[in-house]
Structure 1
Amino acid sequence: MELAAGQCIRQGSIGVWKHISPKLAGIGYSSCMVCFYVALYYNVIIAWSLFYLGNSFQYPLPWEQCPIDVTTNDTVKECAGSSPTSYFWFRKALNITNSIQESGELNSIMTGCLLAAWTIVSLAMIKGIKSSAKVMYFSTVFPYVVLFIFLIRGLMLDGAIEGITYMFYPKLEIWANVQVWRQAATQVFFALGLGYGSVIAYSSYNPYHNNCHRDALMVSGINFMTSVLASLVVFVVLGFRAKNIALRCVANNLDLLSSSDGSDQHWWPWFNMSDPSSVSIAEYREWYGHYSSMAGSNITDCSLEEEMNKGIEGTGLAFIAFTEVMAFFPASPFWSTLFFLMLLNLGLSTMFGTMQGILTPLMDNFSFLGRHRTLLTVSSCALGALIGLLFTQRSGNYFVTMFDDYSATLPLVIVVIFETISVAWVYGTDRFLDDIEVMLKWRPPVVYKYLWKYVCLLAMVGLLAASLLRMVFKSPTYTAWNQSTASEMTLEYPGWALAMIVTLILLASLPVPIGYIHYTWKNRRVPNSLSSEGGGQEMHRELYTKCGSAEQPDSGAHQRLKEGPCLMVNENKMWILGEPVSETLQERDGKVEGGQS
């Protein structure tokens, strides 16, 4: 739907939804706000990748071992209580506070990395779509090469099979968890760029008769296969990590057993204590099932499945789990450099699409901004870097979590709901399919009509309602790092943070009702305005359908591919072949329909 809308109307998200339904023109502005939210915190992840990439050129890697406290000559307590990778992430990289209420000063190293990240994005975007496209050729292909390399290497690890088995083993009980469905929907939107406006922005550059239906199926299929490939790599690594933790647990418990008095009978004939490394997890668990009550409280169960169930999500997956596994690889700095180069490329390609979802609509709808592309790009990146300082203070990771969980999820679902309403119920699915038929020269299957009108809409409304109810009846929480216990704990957001969450959601959602109110108020003042829906809107649709390009002289619209005579509509003016025509649309309508244009 978004590919077809952008390609047909040849505008960014603001122009597309303004054309489809002036009443819901605010959808485009909401998409821009969501893109802005994502750009703010996503570039922080690129900054983290830059930091780890810089630290990868060391041997041994700085997160392979716990540091020594020079005052006591012992291992640093916080590191000994967790792990070298967790300590390096939370203390060396983030220098994190114990809660979101303790802001702390700016992290100077991360601030520098963030400024470097925004500089890279600005330089790549400054020349427009062509310059960013050249960069994306490499940034898109390179991650696939690295993923295949990591998959081949990962399959050689002990625990890889257990990880893959865990990945494909169904867990039906979690299907009832609304949070799982919300995260799944957000991931689909994020992976495909739906609701952000980036898909509309990029498709507006396509040739008018490009087969966008084929593109949609191809992109969805490639995205699915990419997700499977990435998931295989993740679970191979997690399986190796979980098995290592379980084996260390077995070794520690055997040490406790061997040092206890008179406990030889408890493990004989289960274990060969002369070679503790020969004891498997299954053998230990079988013994534990028989003698756990006699072994004492210090002896614990060692379950690989339990370690897999704990899991690691979010930033911890890349910066804790993967770094821990790569420390066991031969030539670990090489693997670390390769991995964080991949993360950097993935992050940059995502940022290019996100920024395009902001810049393209603004340049299309505001002529001044369109004529000063470089100024707009640099100013947007500078503003993002300034606001991004929120995420580089010591409590910044908690704000990244907040933005990721709330600022771009619920508003995104709301945007997609209104997009579907705009096309399926306001503009009409039949009219929309007519426009697609003109572009593709064949009509898409009728099943899309029912998917847009009922299935997708009801699913999104249900997801939104369930998410809102969950927020009302269960206070939002976040995971914090406690320095004294060297462990993570779940805390509730304070009142001011809850107010911030609500404000972020409202700021991204309000453009839709504000746009509707503005349109209604404007039409009451000028009841016969051409911008009103009905005949005028139908004329807009007809004229756009006949235009192979929406390039408008001196309008600030970004360059589109030209295909034959172009007719562009803007209020009561019309351009044909790039030249303004003095007659009104009503006077020219007969000539256009008669084919004289």
Structure 2
Amino acid sequence: MTQREQWGSRLGFILAAVGSAIGLGNIWRFPYMAYENGGGAFLVPYLFAMLTAGIPFMILEFTLGHRFRGSAPKAFACIARGWEWLGWAQVMVAAVITVYYVAVIGWTISYVGFAFTGAWGADPKAFFFEDFLGLTSGALELGALRPTVLGAVTLAWAITWLACVSGVRAGIERAGKVLMPVLFLLVLAFTARVVWLEGAMDGVNWLFTPDFSRLADYRVWVAAYGQIFFTLSVGFAIMIAYSSYLPARSDISNNAFMTVFINCGFSMLAGVMVFSVLGYMAARQGVPIAEVAGGGVGLAFVTIPMAINLMPMPVFFGTLFFLSLTMAGVSSHISIVEACVSSFMDKFGWSRRATASALCAGGFAVSLVFCTGGGLYVLDIVDHFINNFGVLGAALAEIVLLAWLCRLEVVREHANEVSEFAVGRWWSVCLRYLTPGILTLLVGLNLYGDLGTPYGGYGTVELLAYGWAVVLGCALLGLALRAAPGRPGFAARPDTTLRRTT
């Protein structure tokens, strides 16, 4: 049996893990979530969620990958053969994310070029939706491929393929050592300049002024936990795969704390950056900040370009901002694809080059859907369902199985044995009671909301085809891959020391 690849250094692993956790959502989702849920007061439930769910879950997944030296399907199969399906379901969720997430990366790559010429002009909204995306009338009318989007998506897939096919140390680790420092430098440079613009501090104050009355609203706490799970890349196979490449003596607890703290710190920095821009834009237009504040695709590709048009040195600001988005997106995309690559390599014994090439080629073919005029509609539906039911559902299933059917104290002992400092019983309490309770509430509320009101005003056929069918498909493919014959020795002897029952 060939020896498993390993990270070249602890720094390389941390940067890769942070690169996975830090994505586009840190820049365009966190600031708006904080703004909508009490501003500075949102940091209270956010930090509480980080300590009680984010860090414990990260330690759990780092420990599983490190203990079983394998991807998510292998790690779960090593606990109990029947649990392998959950690992594959998580991998399928990751695979779905790769094919639409890369489209957004393609948009950011295109906008780096547009920033040099100010191609979005005086009406960034019309440019983005009509000229650039060529938006059709709905998700059932895909329309033609958009050449500019297709070219940028092809480049994004090529970068991911090169990183994954080059291996853990020469490809993924090297990419992390380049992308993460560059990302932080770009965001720091952008922020350091925009905070001095007129109205910028008004925007920052608007973001962080606390409304402590919102802490009595359970929905704020649910939003905080949801943001933690969305942003940390836990629950869908990535961190288990990454930690499986750690050397035998690796500080699991410290690595988990650093990964989570850096990710959450970056989110706050991104909040300062985004709301400085929004504050400046509001001041220049003479309107309240509430009128320009927003999140998601509209913030990145419509509101920010509008603000850049008003700024001094628009080429400088535009290039920095969209380069930052590109770096964040590419680093996350590499990690998601690697979670899939490592799983198929473990199960079937394929070579890294063959596996990465096949998965990237297949992913590229599927991602063509999101390069069409109707791609944004499909992306919106798939993203909503895969995040709210795929990611959160898989995380809930994982935590219930591990916290209630496994001996968490054995997992904790393994982490403590190789770490500089030990985690106590608080870790087990959070994972056994608090985290599954919050996740159950999140999934339940999402299910109740979507069954009561069709998401986004889309039709039933669209939601069934691109939403519910995709989530169900992930589960069914997980079962199919679990039943497929693997290479000899794949999880041949389940680790009975971890199970509560034999």
Cα offset, 1:471, TM superposition: 1.2
**Matched residue pairs, number?**
432
Q: Distance in 2 between matches of 1:306 and 1:373?
A: 49
1:418-464 per-residue CA deviation (whole Å, 9 max, x = no partner) reads 21122211121122223334444875211111111111111111111
Instruction: Name the structure 2 match of 1:229.
Output: 269
Cα–Cα, structure 1 residues 240 and 538, in superposed 2: closer, same or farther, change >3 Å?
Answer: same
Cα offset, 1:514, TM superposition: 7.4
Cα offset, 1:185, TM superposition: 4.1
Cα–Cα, structure 1 residues 195 and 95, in superposed 2: closer, same or farther, change >3 Å?
Answer: same
Q: Which amino acid aligns with 2:475?
A: S
Q: Distance in 2 between matches of 1:34 and 1:186?
A: 17
Instruction: Name the structure 2 match of 1:98.
Output: 137
Q: Distance in 2 between matches of 1:314 and 1:122?
A: 27
Instruction: Name the structure 2 match of 1:116.
Output: 155
| Structure 2 residue 58 is the aligned partner of structure 1 residue 2 | no
- Note the aligned Cα RMSD (angstroms): 2.6
How do 1:153-192 residues align onto structure 2 when only pairs under 5 Å count? Answer: 153-171=193-211, 172=213, 176=217, 184-192=224-232
Instruction: Name the structure 2 match of 1:205.
Output: 245
Cα–Cα, structure 1 residues 98 and 438, in superposed 2: closer, same or farther, change >3 Å?
Answer: same
Instruction: Name the structure 1 match of 2:7.
Output: none
Instruction: Name the structure 2 match of 1:238.
Output: 278
| Structure 2 residue 296 is the aligned partner of structure 1 residue 314 | yes
Cα offset, 1:503, TM superposition: 0.7
Contact 1:241 1:321 in 2 (8 A): no
> Of the candidates 437, 446, 471, which is equivalent to residue 425 of structure 2?
446
Q: Distance in 2 between matches of 1:53 and 1:44?
A: 14
Q: Distance in 1 between matches of 2:221 and 2:74?
A: 31
Percentage of pairs with the same residue: 24
> Of the candidates 374, 397, 400, which is equivalent to residue 353 of structure 2?
374
> Of the candidates 492, 496, 499, which is equivalent to residue 538 of structure 1?
496
Q: Distance in 2 between matches of 1:388 and 1:363?
A: 23
SS of structure 1 residue aligned to 2:143: coil
How do 1:80-99 residues align onto structure 2 when only pairs under 5 Å count? Answer: 84-99=123-138
> Of the candidates 62, 81, 84, which is equivalent to residue 119 of structure 2?
62
Q: Distance in 2 between matches of 1:27 and 1:175?
A: 36
Structure 1 stretch displaced more, 106-115 or 223-232: 106-115
Q: Distance in 1 between matches of 2:268 and 2:297?
A: 19
Looking at both structures, which has the greater relative contact order when contacts are Cα pairs under 8 Å and sequence separation is at least 6? 2
Q: Distance in 2 between matches of 1:181 and 1:43?
A: 30
TM-score by length of 2: 0.80
Cα offset, 1:30, TM superposition: 1.3
Q: Distance in 2 between matches of 1:173 and 1:437?
A: 38
Cα offset, 1:105, TM superposition: 1.7
Instruction: Name the structure 2 match of 1:342.
Output: 324
Cα offset, 1:184, TM superposition: 4.6
Contact 2:106 2:153 in 1 (8 A): yes
How do 1:268-287 residues align onto structure 2 when only pairs under 5 Å count? Answer: none
**Hey, which of these two has a bigger chunk of strand by percent?**
1
| Structure 2 residue 272 is the aligned partner of structure 1 residue 215 | no
Q: Which amino acid aligns with 2:165?
A: I
Q: Which amino acid aligns with 1:120?
A: I
Q: Distance in 2 between matches of 1:233 and 1:175?
A: 28
1:294-324 per-residue CA deviation (whole Å, 9 max, x = no partner) reads xxxxxxxxx515415xx32211211112212
Which structure: larger Rg? Answer: 1
**Hey, which of these two has a bigger chunk of helix by percent?**
2
Cα–Cα, structure 1 residues 307 and 151, in superposed 2: closer, same or farther, change >3 Å?
Answer: same
Q: Which amino acid aligns with 2:121?
A: E
Contact 1:11 1:364 in 2 (8 A): yes
Cα offset, 1:48, TM superposition: 0.8
Contact 2:225 2:438 in 1 (8 A): no
Instruction: Name the structure 1 match of 2:346.
Output: 364
> Of the candidates 288, 293, 298, which is equivalent to residue 304 of structure 1?
288
Instruction: Name the structure 1 match of 2:383.
Output: 404
Q: Distance in 1 between matches of 2:476 and 2:370?
A: 25
Q: Distance in 1 between matches of 2:112 and 2:256?
A: 34
Contact 1:8 1:439 in 2 (8 A): no
Contact 1:24 1:512 in 2 (8 A): no
Cα–Cα, structure 1 residues 461 and 168, in superposed 2: closer, same or farther, change >3 Å?
Answer: same
| Structure 2 residue 91 is the aligned partner of structure 1 residue 32 | yes
1:242-270 per-residue CA deviation (whole Å, 9 max, x = no partner) reads 2333x2xxxxxxxxxxxxxxxxxxxxxxx
Contact 1:20 1:422 in 2 (8 A): no
Structure 1 stretch displaced more, 468-477 or 168-177: 168-177
TM-score by length of 1: 0.68
Cα–Cα, structure 1 residues 217 and 350, in superposed 2: closer, same or farther, change >3 Å?
Answer: same
Q: Distance in 1 between matches of 2:495 and 2:262?
A: 37
Cα–Cα, structure 1 residues 345 and 34, in superposed 2: closer, same or farther, change >3 Å?
Answer: same
Cα–Cα, structure 1 residues 208 and 397, in superposed 2: closer, same or farther, change >3 Å?
Answer: same
SS of structure 2 residue aligned to 1:41: helix
SS of structure 2 residue aligned to 1:327: helix
Cα offset, 1:137, TM superposition: 0.8
> Of the candidates 153, 173, 176, which is equivalent to residue 136 of structure 1?
176
Q: Which amino acid aligns with 1:493?
A: G
Instruction: Name the structure 2 match of 1:506.
Output: 472
Cα offset, 1:388, TM superposition: 0.7
Q: Which amino acid aligns with 1:243?
A: A
Cα offset, 1:216, TM superposition: 1.0
SS of structure 2 residue aligned to 1:340: helix
Q: Distance in 1 between matches of 2:272 and 2:205?
A: 10
